[in-house]
Amino acid sequence: MLSNIGIGLIVLVLILSFLTIYAAYLDLRTSSQYIKKRIYQLSLLQTTFTVLSFFTLIIGYINSDFSLINVYENSHTAKPFFYKIAGAWGNHEGSLLLWVNILVIFSYLFLVFNHKHNKRFRLYTLIFQNFLILGFLFFLLLNSNPFNSIYPIPLEGLGLNPILQDPALAIHPPLLYVGFVGCSIYFSAAMASLISGYGGKLFAQSIKTWVKISWCFQTLGIIVGSIWAYYELGWGGFWFWDPVENASLLPWFAITALMHSLIVLEKRNTLYSWVIILCLLTFILSVTGTFLVRSGILNSVHTFASDPSRGIYILVFLSLMIFSALIIFFTKNKKETFNFNLESRETFILANNWFMAFFLVTVLIGTLYPIFLDVLSGVKISVGPPFYNIVIIPLVIPLMFLMSIGPQFSWIKSQNKFFYKTLFLMLGAIAINLFILYFFGKYSLLSNLIFTTAIFLILHSCFDVKKLFINKNKAELPRIISHLGFGLLIFFIGINHQFSLEEDFNLKVGEIKKTNNYEINFKNTETKESKNYTAVIGNFKLTNLKNNLVQYLDPEIRIYSNPETLTYEAAIKTKITSDLYLTMSNISRSDYYNIKFQNKPFMVWIWISAIMIALGGFIQLTLKKNEA
Amino acid sequence: MKLSISKIIIFCFVAFSLFVFWKGLKKDNNYDTTELIGSKISNFQLIGINNDDRYISQEDLKKNKFTLINFFASWCAPCRAEHKYLLNLSDKKIKIIGINFKDKKNNAMNFLKELGDPYDFVGKDSNGKISILFGVYGIPESILLNSDLIVIKKIVGPIDQIQYDEILKLAQ
């Protein structure tokens, strides 16, 4: 029943997509200045049906309707209600439906909210967006249909991978999807802009909001994924330079560059071609990332989503997208001349772009090179944290320096009036760094430079906040918050990296282990039955030998029944100054448990500063036009 | 569209990348080291865990009829589980070389003190690079060599009763 409704709705959306393209094409030939009402109606209808199809799938999950293969494979009656809903996008087919939803919703919203802009530009955007929608609809119907039915109907489902049954991971995909699929709309808009000749400043205004929305969601999505990895994977780390994480970073670098160049395009009416390239690149990288993750060409934590037959489809789609983008760009793009003064804000914004481009290329090479080498020569290599740390970290130093002083310059040309302030803040930053170095321990020259520039950026941002209160000019607020967030992020990651404590050992119940000012007493274990798993909980008493502070931590080993899996839940005691992190895992055929104990300073501040970066973007969205 | 060298280069580059992706879809993604069976191990030099002057190389292994090389670490839980089989193999006069993988010396010594030392020689590999030469990608792993230094058996994961019996049978 649900299967038929779902497929019916998808087919309707497909037909509406064709109709929209046709109607838009006809409307392009009329001389009227306004888009026909019928096109709005078609687009609205399309949005309604798409959203309904997604609700149909969610209803299938809520009611545990195992006549749908998708529900049968990814859900179970014993699953908590919240995860039943989240199950709808916790798998390939369901997430693809979510993907289509975002394409369609963004298509409609872009059409409606840009009513002041040129008609031809909007119609072309609608046409290109609908081509994208069609591509994904065919993929959904032919290869990855979430509404495929199964007969005879199974009595029970196979369940969702327990490691995914987590609040952070339930919201991680939707956030990332709004971020990544949201890029589609300015991919279409960029193509439309090239064809209709509607470029420059006005084009920048038309896509500005959409770029910000997708940037915010991408940033937030990446952070949530990272938080999840921290407390769920049980390694105590939060970024692993895993190929799939990299796949999510690639569009992020492109979109961050785009967001900055877009300001130049809007203010100075220059860099148009570069903005177009970034618009196209961001979505192309999103789809490339999807291809890498879903096709199984990479091996990583996200392999639950892989299947080579999907790979072929996405690859064909990707090829069509790239080649049509290239052809249209090369045919329509006009030469531009630039006239930038070295001491102007636009120069520094361009500098941001150089850094983003560098990071993008580094991560792209690190991610793709092993694949290329393996495919072409059969040699297997793995590119991991050492490569990224060596190549990327030193470059963060000049980036942070420029992030501090760049915004001090004004547009076109500025008199350098802030030299003494910069010098003063730099000396302050050096002093604070030396203070940390003197009182808390030695670290390398590179770390010294990182701390100093991070503190410099933080100080600079704080002074900017002060200036903001004097000038009462809210427009700078989002930038300051995001830049301040970035400075804090690097600072706390540095501190965390420098002063973390990690111990690995084996312990039996009743044993006590003394290590680095901590006494760890493994008191006992108990078992607890929960709705869909049984947990073995270890009770640990932790005594800080320095101040005799006692804390109790209880890491768990969870035994899920559907599907049968073991997961290890870390016990984390978060304080303002540090996190205590304890995991235990059983050792087969032994009374011993493997214990991993970590003391990670300022962990919570890493999250707070990362969220600040995203927050800046959200604040920008709420600012009214005259304020921004 | 006017064609120019730069445009052609960009097109070729994109086409090449997409081609590699397409080829990549067909390759087998499971990392499999069973193909190492029958191959000869490369030359190596293993420094003893005590950092003293003792070291062994491929020449020393040629003297043994069979050598079992076992990769272990004190932090590795399954290593603990397989340890009693190693002790038994050692009792059966099988030469065992231990390679201590990404471990601290003191922890490794305590590990052997606690569980017993089945190894004729323990080499250190604190950064894991030597283990890569042997095609090891996770521990515990063990490889059985004959006197020609040919790999005749490879065990990925802990040795259990079945593996233990097979090693004894092969080494008879």
Q: Is A211 helix (H, G, I), strand (E, B) or coil?
A: helix
- Cα(A544)–Cα(A102) distance, integer angstroms: 50
- Cα(B112)–Cα(B94) distance, integer angstroms: 18
For A376, nearest residue in chain B (alpha carbons): B20
Residue B63, CA atoms < 13 Å, CB-side half-sphere: 6
Q: Evaluate whether A170 touches A90 at the Cβ level (below 8 Å).
A: yes
Burial of residue A314 (CB within 10 Å: 0-12, 13-18, 19+) is buried
> Residue A24 is encoded by which pair of tokens?
């838009």
Please determine, for residue A473, whether its predicted confidence score (pLDDT) is greater than 80: no
Which amino acid type is present at position A101? N
- Average pLDDT taken over every residue of chain A: 89
Cβ of B17 and A374 within 8 Å?
no
Residues of chain B in contact with residue A335, where contact means CB-CB under 8 angstroms, are none
B6, part of any domain: no
Judged by average pLDDT, the poorest of A84-98, A465-479, B20-34 is B20-34
Q: Residue range A186-214: average pLDDT?
A: 94
Please determine, for residue B163, whether its predicted confidence score (pLDDT) is greater than 50: yes
pLDDT per residue as tens digits for the range B80-90: 888 989 999 88
B12, part of any domain: no
Residues of chain B in contact with residue A289, where contact means CB-CB under 8 angstroms, are none
Cβ of B77 and A585 within 8 Å?
yes
Please determine, for residue A477, whether its predicted confidence score (pLDDT) is greater than 80: yes
Give the closest of B25, B77, B78 to A308, CB-based: B25
Cβ of B20 and A296 within 8 Å?
no
Look at residue A202 in the predicted model and tell me its pLDDT.
93
Please determine, for residue A249, whether its predicted confidence score (pLDDT) is greater than 80: yes
Give the closest of A323, A331, A375 to B20, CB-based: A375
Alpha carbon separation from A194 to A118, A125, A198, A210, A219 (Å, rounded): 13, 10, 7, 18, 28
Return the percentage of chain A with pLDDT > 90, whole number.
50
Mutate to test the interface with B, among A235, A312, A504 (most CBs of B within 10 A): A504
Look at residue A444 in the predicted model and tell me its pLDDT.
87
Q: Residue range A183-206: average pLDDT?
A: 94
Q: Evaluate whether A603 touches A496 at the Cβ level (below 8 Å).
A: yes
B27, part of any domain: no
Burial of residue A448 (CB within 10 Å: 0-12, 13-18, 19+) is middle
B10, part of any domain: no
Please determine, for residue A395, whether its predicted confidence score (pLDDT) is greater than 70: yes
Cis ω before A398 (30° cut-off from 0): no
Q: Evaluate whether B121 touches B55 at the Cβ level (below 8 Å).
A: no
Please determine, for residue A147, whether its predicted confidence score (pLDDT) is greater than 50: yes
> Residue A215 is encoded by which pair of tokens?
């940037």
- Give me the residue label for tokens 């070295």: A342
B14, part of any domain: no
- How many structural domains compose chain B? 1
For A370, nearest residue in chain B (alpha carbons): B24
Look at residue B32 in the predicted model and tell me its pLDDT.
60
pLDDT per residue as tens digits for the range A415-450: 667 788 889 999 999 999 999 888 887 888 999 999
Q: Evaluate whether A93 touches A146 at the Cβ level (below 8 Å).
A: yes
Q: What is the DSSP string of A411-480?
A: SS------HHHHHHHHHHHHHHHHHHHHHH----HHHHHHHHHHHHHHHHHHHHHHHHHHHT-GGGHHHH
Please determine, for residue A245, whether its predicted confidence score (pLDDT) is greater than 60: yes
- Cα(A408)–Cα(A417) distance, integer angstroms: 9
Residues of chain B in contact with residue A506, where contact means CB-CB under 8 angstroms, are 77, 80
Please determine, for residue A596, whether its predicted confidence score (pLDDT) is greater than 60: yes
Judged by average pLDDT, the poorest of A22-36, A296-310, B2-16 is A296-310
pLDDT grade, residue A614 (50/70/90)?
very high
Please determine, for residue A303, whether its predicted confidence score (pLDDT) is greater than 70: no
Query: A552: which strand partners?
Result: A541
pLDDT grade, residue B34 (50/70/90)?
low
Look at residue A331 in the predicted model and tell me its pLDDT.
92
- Give me the residue label for tokens 């004097």: A470
Cβ of B20 and A504 within 8 Å?
no
- Cα(A231)–Cα(A234) distance, integer angstroms: 6
Residues of chain A in contact with residue B78, where contact means CB-CB under 8 angstroms, are 587-588
Size of interface A-B (CB pairs under 8 A): 71
In 3D space, the residue among A517, A592, A584, A589 whose CA is nearest the CA of residue A548 turns out to be A517
Q: Residue range A7-17: average pLDDT?
A: 96
Most confident of A137-146, A238-247, A567-576, B19-28: A137-146
Q: Residue range A246-270: average pLDDT?
A: 93
> Residue A294 is encoded by which pair of tokens?
């879903």
Whichever domain contains B131, its CATH number is 3.40.30.10
Please determine, for residue A2, whether its predicted confidence score (pLDDT) is greater than 70: yes
Ramachandran quadrant class, A104 (left: phi over 0; alpha: psi -120 to 50; beta: rest): alpha
Alpha carbon separation from A573 to A509, A599, B12, B77 (Å, rounded): 21, 10, 54, 25
Cβ of B77 and A592 within 8 Å?
yes
Cβ of A330 and B29 within 8 Å?
no
Mutate to test the interface with B, among A375, A513, A588 (most CBs of B within 10 A): A375
Give the closest of B20, B21, B81 to A588, CB-based: B81
Please determine, for residue A199, whether its predicted confidence score (pLDDT) is greater than 80: yes
pLDDT per residue as tens digits for the range A508-529: 888 888 887 889 999 988 898 8
Burial of residue A85 (CB within 10 Å: 0-12, 13-18, 19+) is middle
Cβ of A315 and B31 within 8 Å?
no
Look at residue A624 in the predicted model and tell me its pLDDT.
67
Q: Residue range A268-281: average pLDDT?
A: 93
Residues of chain B in contact with residue A588, where contact means CB-CB under 8 angstroms, are 77-78, 81
pLDDT grade, residue A51 (50/70/90)?
very high
Range of the domain at B107: 34-170
Give the closest of B1, B29, B81 to A327, CB-based: B1
Please determine, for residue B13, whether its predicted confidence score (pLDDT) is greater than 90: yes
In 3D space, the residue among A94, A86, A50, A49 whose CA is nearest the CA of residue A69 turns out to be A94
Q: Evaluate whether A520 touches A510 at the Cβ level (below 8 Å).
A: no
Cβ of A326 and B11 within 8 Å?
yes
> Residue B52 is encoded by which pair of tokens?
């003293």
The four Cα atoms A98, A99, A100, A104 give a dihedral, to 10 degrees, of 100
Look at residue A299 in the predicted model and tell me its pLDDT.
61
Q: Is B156 helix (H, G, I), strand (E, B) or coil?
A: strand
What is the value of pTM for the model shown?
0.83
Residues of chain B in contact with residue A371, where contact means CB-CB under 8 angstroms, are 20-21, 24
Q: Evaluate whether A315 touches A292 at the Cβ level (below 8 Å).
A: no
> How far away is chain B from the Cα of A382, in angstroms, using its nearest Cα?
11
- Cα(A97)–Cα(A58) distance, integer angstroms: 11
In 3D space, the residue among A45, A24, A44, A43 whose CA is nearest the CA of residue A35 turns out to be A24
B135, part of any domain: yes
CB contact burial B115-127 (16+ within 10 A = b; e otherwise)? eebbbbbbbbbee
Cβ of A371 and B24 within 8 Å?
yes
Q: Evaluate whether A189 touches A279 at the Cβ level (below 8 Å).
A: yes
> Residue A240 is encoded by which pair of tokens?
């692993």
Judged by average pLDDT, the poorest of A489-498, B44-53, B68-77 is B44-53
B1, part of any domain: no
Mutate to test the interface with A, among B21, B79, B111, B132 (most CBs of A within 10 A): B21
Look at residue A481 in the predicted model and tell me its pLDDT.
94
Higher pLDDT residue, A142 or A304? A142
Give the closest of A312, A376, A380 to B25, CB-based: A312
Q: Residue range A581-595: average pLDDT?
A: 82
Cβ of B81 and A590 within 8 Å?
yes
Residues of B with CB under 8 A from a CB of A: 1, 7, 10-11, 14, 17-18, 20-27, 29, 31, 75, 77-78, 80-81, 107
Burial of residue B96 (CB within 10 Å: 0-12, 13-18, 19+) is buried
- Cα(A93)–Cα(A101) distance, integer angstroms: 13
Give the closest of B18, B21, B75 to A297, CB-based: B21
Q: Residue range A372-380: average pLDDT?
A: 84
B7, part of any domain: no
Q: Evaluate whether A146 touches A70 at the Cβ level (below 8 Å).
A: yes
Terminal Cα distance for chain A, rounded: 50
- Cα(A471)–Cα(A410) distance, integer angstroms: 15
pLDDT grade, residue A628 (50/70/90)?
very low
Look at residue A451 in the predicted model and tell me its pLDDT.
93
Q: What angle do CA A381, A383, A385 make, to 5 degrees?
A: 150
Mutate to test the interface with B, among A195, A250, A587, A592 (most CBs of B within 10 A): A587
> How far away is chain B from the Cα of A381, in angstroms, using its nearest Cα?
11
Q: What is the 3-state secondary structure of A521-547?
A: EEEEEEEEECCCEEEEEEEEEEEECCC
Look at residue A306 in the predicted model and tell me its pLDDT.
54
